[in-house]
Structure 1
């Protein structure tokens, strides 16, 4: 750790600190029983009419939101107190080196961390990762902050923005009981001088409204500290955080210091977010030397709603709307097992009905109408489209095309007849012909399952995403019964599945997929080996076959074999209710409570900006009431919440386009992480120069041309060597 020396004057200063242990009687520990944490049922679909068990269920205590509430560095326990800035070796900042080019900065952000136990680091990384913004992390507790760390040898600034995980970067208490800043006084001055000279903005993710290490023009309201409040954007806040509506945003499980604006010579403070009493929770502030700063007086965590809603706007403010990468949001909903009959849960007995369930042609036509109403009722999802993962082995191709419910009752197979009418209504995705488990199938079987299903879909007139595949149970990717010998591919598995890794994938499936023109293969986001935790918005290039790219999908709590609200809640409560197999809730949830918790989880996943589908199953499409189905109820609950807070459109792509988008983003993110793609913003020229060591894709937000999303344009292309693009900073 760097040597720290405190001056007598500095010992009197007050600013924030993070207390990571108990905080006396005012310690806030959320009640997990009543916390709004939606556990997720991982649904392992089995063959039709075969299974009586959905397999291993996740521990709801592993919910990211619950961990955010209850872990030792919870934002709800983040208390601020007495601290000081140690005196540096020099009384002033180190002089800027000769030859500085103050109009030029690299398109990269510097995160300044206070070292071990810095809970704010996770949010800093997460918010930049969501938008694809490159960053470096400097551990200020062990690494010195020098001009060389901020300015390159060519005089170009290394960073376009600076994030402080907390505004004073405090360390644990010293022998005096006070908490020293990880930066000494000369290092702070060096940072401030860099920000001033290069016009770099500074974002403090959490801070006490005081005067150390610098004054933001805010003062804490005595006795107003709380871990439960709400925040609403001011008119200025709507300008800075342009994606937000005027709705109150709940702040739960995060300690807050409501503040008032103080008159400070040379400082101009503008509130952005206020609580119900009009007290400030976020503000921009211009210092006496002209630097632009933004301070949040509420603790942040990547799993909390207020943090997720603020992140997009904060990144755009910090980077002046010009940065590598982009943040988009998606609503992709897959429905598996179309054409197949499957298990049907009996809410009265807790078992299964003797008769398997298959949606009717009327149900299918009703889904068409529900999809149309979603588009009209929710303008932010105007291009929403269900993706139907179909199993052609359950279809008949020798039927008439019927587009009205008046005639489906006399059809040979009403679902097949209606599907012919709906060929262009949905996105159709290959789900194999018969839903066989593909963990150990031979090549000929895998090839037939894929090729035959494409042929059946073509005869039915379905518009199919030809490069995409969803296998039954996401099988063939190494999450399997380790003793599986292939003799039960159309029945229940014999032992609990285990994550054996992608290296245990079935090479016959992968080869057959490539032979049939398939590039994009659905994987299960709840299985660790089938996602990339180093890049939460990336897919996965399969390690055994570079011709296959994995698209992770989100599970949810709508079980695969339920068709009505009573069945949905009956099964869910049999798992997580007080008498369930994994008791979690203190009471059995009603359907409204169930939807509320499910949409909370889905909203969190949508706000993260990853282009990953959610998936349900054909029984969830039953029209249990006029214009109603479980799947559409889920979509509407999510969209109602989303539209309450955000104005950003939700994208829905056909599976082939979704896979291509995700693969492109993954290549770009990996190129930035390895240093193969970078950029420099020239303020004077109004342009960005991109550099690459190979031919790689790029996305530039803030470009003068390109596609408009929200209030920002982003331009995509491929760069090999260098390219210069015009930008329009905010």
Structure 2
């Protein structure tokens, strides 16, 4: 059979142009396979590779950049808001809206709700995105209070029953600065009476205050720091002090870059009644972060550099700052993950020719030796990086390309004699990886009848069972993430098995294929992988949530991150040649001033991936089987990418990275989504009692809860994390930090 040639991946048009500041890689979703064979065991007969007849996974469709990649590029710019966030000469207006308010008669000062108050200076507040992001990563409930439009009263801080409404307070900037007035001075969004009201609440209820950014002085209060005149910068670095290591407990002590953020290096000054402890210092020993105790005993923490959710220093500080603010007791958890999916196992796929910029005539399929090498590389990753001790690849497999009648071979000495060395090695690796249904033949499922969809899912499970694969049974990755509404609007289903890359439009989940959804649920599948680069496939309001499918309550979507290791490259030369053909100075979308080397390519790609990992979502990154080729002893593009990511991650933090099988990953994301939505709606709440060191949880209906700081929880990082279900009320013992 002659293979149908397909256009180079970039020949598929993008649905929107890319600007220089929204540089992104060509983000690929899986291609699809050829006609299904007539029996579950017998694959069709196109080309012979590695002595087995295989189905070829055809060209991948290009997709728009994922939003987090664009956010990173926009944040890391001299023109970014954080880089331009200079603070003017601040003043606090004299109280006019109200007088300073005292505590109510029934104040229960030992009891506070497990929720954080974010005080914002209103429209254009550059610190608000980071406040939202850091709390969202940790699952901590919060309210945003626009201090520019509404008065801050004691009623806003204390409930009618006397319980404090908030366990912590975040100031987006230390003085809540607004736009300059006619004299060029910058007023605070709170007047003097409102500041006094806030301070009285913090003092009485012993609530900590975190200022995400400030130029230390005396307005609205004195932290015992003074900005060093002339030291302002947008490029520096910071290192935690011994005290900083105690607060920011996951940090290794390595120098952290502070770039693209306006910064006010400061010095400690003696102030009567104020005790100041530096946490972070720059190379000259000047203070970039400190805790201080006010003369009335309130605990405060201030940072002197601007923040942005995509900046490295903001992401690395987030875990420790939230832990300090909440005293280690909070609803939710901050957990980090390393999930890597490899799509198209058993299929041959396109192979990029670095010399011509086209595709090789023959598809590429990894060999049994490559597969065994992946096992060894996975073991090396586990042993080399303590933060990733339980790392495991998830292999999304297409059984239409497998041979179930082969012997099991676990050594490279005999793979050359196998009928199909990849199938033989896969039988040996049945418990080494998490095996996930990727459909039998990788067909496009946007427009497909129920019978075909059902066969593609059911037959693939049958083949996996005959191969002895330890499969995740409740999960599915469709080819190209197809069937979920990101599709050619004119597709009539005629070319479901075609190699042609049709232009795609995000038509929304409402245009999903209901036949696919029904086939999934009828095969015991609840969790479908979706594409994080497609707007309708993820929840922008909740950075760690999945998406319940609007057309079928039995289906829940888990978004996956694309990356810049192209689907059809097998060596460093191929990977960088393709990347440079897109973003090099002569590329289709020129961005970099010179072509990147492989080392530079990995550095850039691992930066993007590190941002995703630090976000705290359990979303997998996905690659493709050609990326597993052992191009040099012990090396593949996939393992190079993981090593580069883990080298950076381990440089800065010791917080362990969890890896879940898809059978556990889907339920985890769904559970977290249910909790986050319940907390946002006020259906799941908690109150911390300082006198008894207990938390009382409350819900109107049975709901899962996750509590950081519970005494009987499982250790993770510096805290214990306790999980359970609450209906009505439940009291849990906790240990604050």
Contact 2:128 2:172 in 1 (8 A): yes
Q: How far apart are the structure 2 equivalents of 1:628 and 1:176?
A: 63
Residue 44 of structure 1 is matched in structure 2 by: 29
Deviations 1:548-601 (A, max 9, x none): 010000000001110000000111111111111111111111100100000000
Contact 2:292 2:299 in 1 (8 A): yes
Residue 12 of structure 2 is matched in structure 1 by: none
Q: How far apart are the structure 1 equivalents of 2:349 and 2:394?
A: 19
Residue 425 of structure 1 is matched in structure 2 by: 432
Aligned mate of 2:243, from 218, 236, 259: 236
Contact 1:129 1:535 in 2 (8 A): yes
Q: CA deviation at 1:400?
A: 0.3
Q: How far apart are the structure 1 equivalents of 2:65 and 2:359?
A: 22
Q: CA deviation at 1:82?
A: 1.2
Q: How far apart are the structure 2 equivalents of 1:260 and 1:717?
A: 46
Contact 2:59 2:501 in 1 (8 A): no
Contact 2:131 2:172 in 1 (8 A): yes
Residue 393 of structure 2 is matched in structure 1 by: 386
Residue 443 of structure 1 is matched in structure 2 by: 450
Q: CA deviation at 1:508?
A: 0.4
Q: Does 1:329 align with 2:314?
A: no
Q: CA deviation at 1:391?
A: 0.2
Contact 2:349 2:364 in 1 (8 A): yes
Residue 684 of structure 2 is matched in structure 1 by: 677
Contact 1:337 1:618 in 2 (8 A): yes
Q: CA deviation at 1:89?
A: 3.4
Residue 352 of structure 2 is matched in structure 1 by: 345
Q: How far apart are the structure 1 equivalents of 2:554 and 2:108?
A: 45
Task: For structure 1, list consecutive stretches of 5 or more residues without a partner in the other structure.
Answer: 1-31
Contact 2:580 2:595 in 1 (8 A): yes
Alignment of 1:79-90 (within 5 A): 79-89=86-96
Residue 401 of structure 1 is matched in structure 2 by: 408
Q: How far apart are the structure 1 equivalents of 2:248 and 2:63?
A: 41
Q: How far apart are the structure 1 equivalents of 2:68 and 2:639?
A: 27
Contact 1:707 1:714 in 2 (8 A): yes
Q: CA deviation at 1:60?
A: 9.5
Q: Is the partner of 1:385 in helix, strand or coil? A: coil
* Pair 1:548–1:71, CA change in 2 (3 A): farther
Alignment of 1:596-611 (within 5 A): 596-611=603-618
Q: CA deviation at 1:93?
A: 2.4
Deviations 1:597-616 (A, max 9, x none): 00000000000000000000
Q: How far apart are the structure 2 equivalents of 1:160 and 1:71?
A: 36
Q: How far apart are the structure 2 equivalents of 1:661 and 1:674?
A: 20
Contact 2:31 2:480 in 1 (8 A): yes
Q: Does 1:549 align with 2:534?
A: no
Q: CA deviation at 1:39?
A: 2.8
Residue 8 of structure 1 is matched in structure 2 by: none
Q: Is the partner of 1:585 in helix, strand or coil? A: coil
Report which stretch shifted further, 183-192 or 91-100: 91-100
Q: How far apart are the structure 1 equivalents of 2:384 and 2:577?
A: 30
Q: How far apart are the structure 2 equivalents of 1:194 and 1:476?
A: 53
Deviations 1:57-83 (A, max 9, x none): 539996111222459761000111212
Q: How far apart are the structure 2 equivalents of 1:113 and 1:485?
A: 50
Q: Does 1:183 align with 2:212?
A: no
Aligned mate of 1:474, from 481, 504, 512: 481
Deviations 1:209-228 (A, max 9, x none): 11110000001111110000
Alignment of 1:545-694 (within 5 A): 545-694=552-701
Aligned mate of 1:100, from 107, 113, 131: 107
Q: CA deviation at 1:180?
A: 1.0
Q: How far apart are the structure 1 equivalents of 2:79 and 2:574?
A: 38
* Pair 1:625–1:185, CA change in 2 (3 A): same
Contact 1:531 1:539 in 2 (8 A): yes
* Pair 1:61–1:574, CA change in 2 (3 A): farther
Alignment of 1:151-166 (within 5 A): 151-166=158-173
Residue 720 of structure 2 is matched in structure 1 by: 713
Q: Is the partner of 2:308 in helix, strand or coil? A: coil
Contact 1:38 1:597 in 2 (8 A): no
Q: Is the partner of 2:348 in helix, strand or coil? A: coil
Report which stretch shifted further, 704-713 or 55-64: 55-64
Task: For structure 2, list consecutive stretches of 5 or more residues without a partner in the other structure.
Answer: 1-18, 34-55
Q: How far apart are the structure 2 equivalents of 1:388 and 1:494?
A: 24
Q: How far apart are the structure 1 equivalents of 2:555 and 2:154?
A: 45
* Pair 1:391–1:53, CA change in 2 (3 A): closer
* Pair 1:390–1:53, CA change in 2 (3 A): closer
Aligned mate of 2:144, from 132, 137, 154: 137
Alignment of 1:341-380 (within 5 A): 341-380=348-387
State the number of aligned residues: 697
Deviations 1:118-173 (A, max 9, x none): 01011101100000000011100011000100000000000000000000011112
Aligned mate of 2:420, from 386, 395, 413: 413
Q: CA deviation at 1:44?
A: 2.8
Deviations 1:486-532 (A, max 9, x none): 11111134641000000000000000000000011000000000000
Q: How far apart are the structure 2 equivalents of 1:51 and 1:658?
A: 28
Q: CA deviation at 1:317?
A: 0.3
Q: How far apart are the structure 2 equivalents of 1:359 and 1:132?
A: 41
Q: Which has the higher contact order (CA 8 A, sep 6+)?
A: 2
Q: Is the partner of 2:701 in helix, strand or coil? A: coil
Alignment of 1:232-311 (within 5 A): 232-311=239-318
Contact 2:232 2:262 in 1 (8 A): yes
Give runs of ≥4 in structure 1 deviating > 6 Å.
59-62
Q: How far apart are the structure 1 equivalents of 2:557 and 2:546?
A: 6
Contact 1:69 1:75 in 2 (8 A): no
Contact 2:30 2:60 in 1 (8 A): no
Q: Does 1:205 align with 2:193?
A: no
Report which stretch shifted further, 48-57 or 426-435: 48-57
Report which stretch shifted further, 573-582 or 120-129: 573-582
TM-score where L is the length of structure 2:
0.93
Q: How far apart are the structure 1 equivalents of 2:32 and 2:501?
A: 13
